[in-house]
A and B are shown apart, each in its own frame.
Chain A
Amino acid sequence: MSERFLPETEQQALELVRWAVAGNKTIAIQGENTKQGFGLLAETDCMVSMRNLAGIVEYHPEELVMQALPGTPVEEIKQELNKHDQRLEFEPLNLGRMYQTGGEGTIGGVFSGNLAGPRRFKAGSARDHILGIKAINGRGETCKSGGKVIKNVSGYDMSKLIAGSWGTLSVITEVTFKVLPAPAASATLAVQGLSTEQGLKLLATVLSTPCETSGLAYLPAPALAAIEPGEEPVPQDTGSPPGKGDSGGSQGERDGKLLFPDESMTLIRLEGTELSVNERIQTLRKLLPGDRKNSILNQADTTLLWSKIRDVAPLHDVHRTPAILKISTPPTAVPGLTRFLDQSGGCTWYLDAAGSWLWVGVCQAATADKLNSIKREVSISGGNATLYRAPDAVKKNTGIYSFPDSSIKNLNEKIKNSFDPGNIFNPDRLYSL
């Protein structure tokens, strides 16, 4: 059993790393350990949890800036932002369900994983909101980057490298990030029964209008059916206006079983002032194919539905879909990819981020061969696939990332080496050296 440490100060964390460097000991870095399902977790000499180095250091709502220690629970951050009607615009997905660890984890984890959500195509991911970072590299030295203001080009943007490094470059000891106002109203326009091509075409049409949207997803019937029952929103038949005071007064029956109709849903989320959301819904409704049923989801249902999409709920069931790939792709490559998935069988998939993300759950026969065949298809079509969940043996065979070529992989290895020459932080988590 490796030794487990809970540093409470930056200094303690620094001492720990220096001790590890001197003794060439490997360290697993974690917050609340909610995302250990990502990558390969090797046996290490010791574990360090940053959850006791916690708390919001500075928050100035009018400056749109928050600074927090890495162990601060995401929940606490959200609550504090909520008090000032602000939010994390990048809508980080909660991996707690995917990895069956429950919680949402710490803010350090959110940035380490460069998490994002359905707003990705518009608002970016965690890396787009990080402003500054303090960290300890694998040499036992502190290194900071960025600042506490929302515009800064002083030196390399090293914070962005650390975002998405999954604890393989450094131990984060403080993070500063941009926050934004939460809009007063939201609603979802849901269109039933479109084919993948038709759904994508509709999403592209919506993006060619000035009607700013903050969520564009396409869920085929099997993905909808895989969302665990109980609390799914029911599409309303007619469009009543969305808004704050509208507390789930859906006109459809909510019997706990009825989910969506047994056909695909193309989903369009709008956020903003109540007036603006209504204006845009009316404009967009005119663009919809006349022969398909459409409905409007109110604010409460919108929040619930998009949290399911964000958290990859259609693929949660680990027995049904033990392996999960997130494919980042040009939207025009999606019809070819989904045809391949459907023909080869055994996959549940849906589209998020305006068709730029294809989440794929691979069923029981989630062998390395199967995943590799999908990854090959993805690389031919000009995108890349990240393995979010799979049995360890499969992860080892297929790798977590699909690097486009060896030069990019090489650069990754050199960057790792520049921060952590002894390969002591989360060794082999992302790829083996």
Chain B
Amino acid sequence: MKMPPVDNAILQNRPALIRQIKAILPDECVIVDEAALRAYETDALTAYRQRPMLVALPETTAQVADVLKLCSRLKIKVVPRGAGTSLSGGALPLADGIVLGLGKFNKILDVDFDNRCVVAQSGVTNLAISEAVNHRGFYYAPDPSSQIVCTIGGNVSANSGGVHCLKYGLTTNNIMGIEMVTMTGEILRIGGKYLDPAGYDLLGIITGSEGLLGVITEVTVRIIQQAQTARAMLLGFPSNEAAGECVAGIISSGIIPAGVEMMDEFAIKASEDYCHAGYPVDCPALVIVELDGQEGEVTELIGQVREIAENCQVVSIQVSETEAERQRIWAGRKAAFPALGDISPDYYCMDGVIPRRKLPQVLTRIREMSDQYGLRVANVFHAGDGNLHPLILFDASNPGELQKVEEFGADILRLCVEVGGVLTGEHGVGVEKRDLMHTMFDEQDLQQQQRLKCVFDPDGGLNPGKVFPTLRRCAELGKLHVHKGNIPFPDIPRF
């Protein structure tokens, strides 16, 4: 993976930089020793590692601004980091850059039930927000699987989803405001405890921008009431086609389940061996459907889903009657990743999205590629929104195998785009999919995106080397190229 060229002059000035950062932050907030830096050299995409010059852990927004001003002045690259759970290398450090960690921004500032929102510092974990409000039946809806550790600031940067986002939306649909510091050290407050901030949708563009536009220091999130009840159904099918047809049938009938997950044969077997959730191991495809709402309504919906499943050759049906049973049905799905980690030294998790109707075709192609590459693949699928997670099993200690896995992964993502889907549903582009952006976007599309980067960070010092395959200078992007000036188009109708 090619990263921006390292500036040796900057590396040589490291001792001076440490002194200058320590003039802004207390000593204990600056990590410089080699052993301690190792903890920051990678995120959850562990295939890539790079030790940064230092890690700064500011405690206040003013300190964040001062650190960024300093780095901006000295032309030092900055990689922001929440909990480091990015699966796409979004927080991968740079050799001649610093990591700006938000770990000390860990306070919930305001729980405001009257306005149905919570104001939290950006390093607060996703789950902590829900825990702060659940005594009154509220919660924060997006629930990425890393929610115990991932931070709300990281969620904003990644526009995180979760298994319930079909019904309850992604991060972008559930936040109301942020405080953010730009690379030049300007502190911006966007939105707040109200809907619809004035002007262009700055929250919309910043959410999911992968730490390239600013360092998020505070987030205001919307909280909602938990449904009265939630029940899960576990449906076994004789084929991926039948399972896909059932999901399409449920949605066409007007039901939006709280969650719809699908697992293929390999994932089912691995998970069942690992956690014994009682999954039918002889089924080639499983669908989990969670329905929530009023009790009577949920019972009614379960009946409807059962009927749809029966019309799609369902061979096995389990319906949770208690909360414990609901948890058990989910336990198998949640165990799928660790289960695969148990049977293989390493696995690589992909994150493409496809139109759901293309699922059988895509799974068949993945199977063929799996044979070609000689690498096993298990598939878990957020079936409601078409987000496919193929998990490629491999052994990184075999020379060349990681590279083969990356090629296989890239082929899968190209396939997703080819059938009308996209490169990433929730893990982000980061460094991992950066060089595949051309499969979705042409040069002009990317240039317009990069002009937005220039609006916030004209010198490109914040998280460079992520998302965009080519670094460009803002002056070059800003030039207006006049295409042609001949008028007239007599063929265009007038009114």
State the A residues within 8 Å of B (CB): 3-8, 12, 15-16, 18-19, 21-23, 49, 52, 60-65, 84-85, 114, 116, 120-121, 124-125, 127-128, 137, 139-145, 147-158, 160-161, 163-165, 169, 180-184, 204, 207-212, 272-273, 275-276, 279-280, 326, 328-332, 353-354, 356-357, 382-384, 386, 401-405, 407-409, 411-412, 414-416, 418-419, 421-422, 430
CB of B485 within 8 A of CB of A139, answer: no
Closest Cβ of chain B to A432, distance in Å, is 14
Name the A residues within 8 Å of B420 (CB-CB): 147-149
Name the A residues within 8 Å of B427 (CB-CB): 153
Taken residue by residue from 268 to 300, chain B's Cβ proximity to chain A (1 for < 8 Å, 0 otherwise) reads as 000000000000000000000000011111001
A150 to B159, CA, bound (A): 13
Closest Cβ of chain A to B88, distance in Å, is 9
CB of B487 within 8 A of CB of A160, answer: no
Known: A63-B356, A273-B297, A273-B300. A120 touches B385 (CB 8 A): no
Chain B at the A interface: SS class = loop
CB of B293 within 8 A of CB of A151, answer: no
CB of A328 within 8 A of CB of B486, answer: no
Residue contacts A-B, CB under 8 angstroms, 24 given: A6-B495, A19-B489, A62-B356, A65-B355, A84-B252, A127-B204, A141-B447, A142-B444, A143-B445, A151-B161, A151-B387, A154-B440, A155-B445, A180-B256, A208-B137, A209-B137, A210-B226, A273-B301, A276-B294, A326-B196, A384-B198, A408-B188, A408-B199, A418-B455
CB of B194 within 8 A of CB of A356, answer: yes
A7 to B494, CA, bound (A): 8
Known: A124-B173, A328-B194, A407-B188. A144 touches B441 (CB 8 A): yes
Instruction: Specify the chain A residue showing the minimal Cβ separation from B477.
Output: A418
A62 to B254, CA, bound (A): 9
CB of B202 within 8 A of CB of A408, answer: yes
Q: Which stretch from B2-10, B14-22, B162-170, B232-240 is at the chain A interface?
A: B162-170
6 extra A-B contacts, CB within 8 A, seeds A62-B249, A151-B386: A6-B493, A114-B201, A153-B208, A382-B192, A408-B199, A415-B200
Q: Determine whether B75 belongs to the interface, using a CB cutoff of 8 Å to chain A.
A: no
Q: Which of B105-163 contact A (CB under 8 A)?
A: 112-116, 136-138, 158-159, 161
Q: Determine whether B482 belongs to the interface, using a CB cutoff of 8 Å to chain A.
A: yes
Name the B residues within 8 Å of A85 (CB-CB): 254
A169 to B200, CA, bound (A): 10
Among A149, A154, A181, A404, point to the contact of B429 (Cβ < 8 A): A154
Instruction: Specify the chain B residue showing the minimal Cβ separation from A386.
Output: B198
A207 to B385, CA, bound (A): 27
* In the complex, the 4 A-B pairs of residues with the closest C-beta atoms, listed nearest first: A160-B204, A22-B485, A276-B297, A181-B254
Name the A residues within 8 Å of B186 (CB-CB): 407
A65 to B211, CA, bound (A): 29
Counted as pairs of residues, one from A and one from B, with CB atoms less than 8 Å apart, the total is 307
CB of A212 within 8 A of CB of B252, answer: no
CB of B386 within 8 A of CB of A21, answer: no
Name the A residues within 8 Å of B205 (CB-CB): 156-158, 160-161, 415
CB of B425 within 8 A of CB of A153, answer: yes
Name the A residues within 8 Å of B494 (CB-CB): 3-6
Among B198, B428, B485, point to the contact of A402 (Cβ < 8 A): B198
Known: A6-B492, A161-B205. A353 touches B425 (CB 8 A): no
Q: Which of B403-452 contact A (CB under 8 A)?
A: 420-429, 433, 437, 440-441, 444-449, 451-452
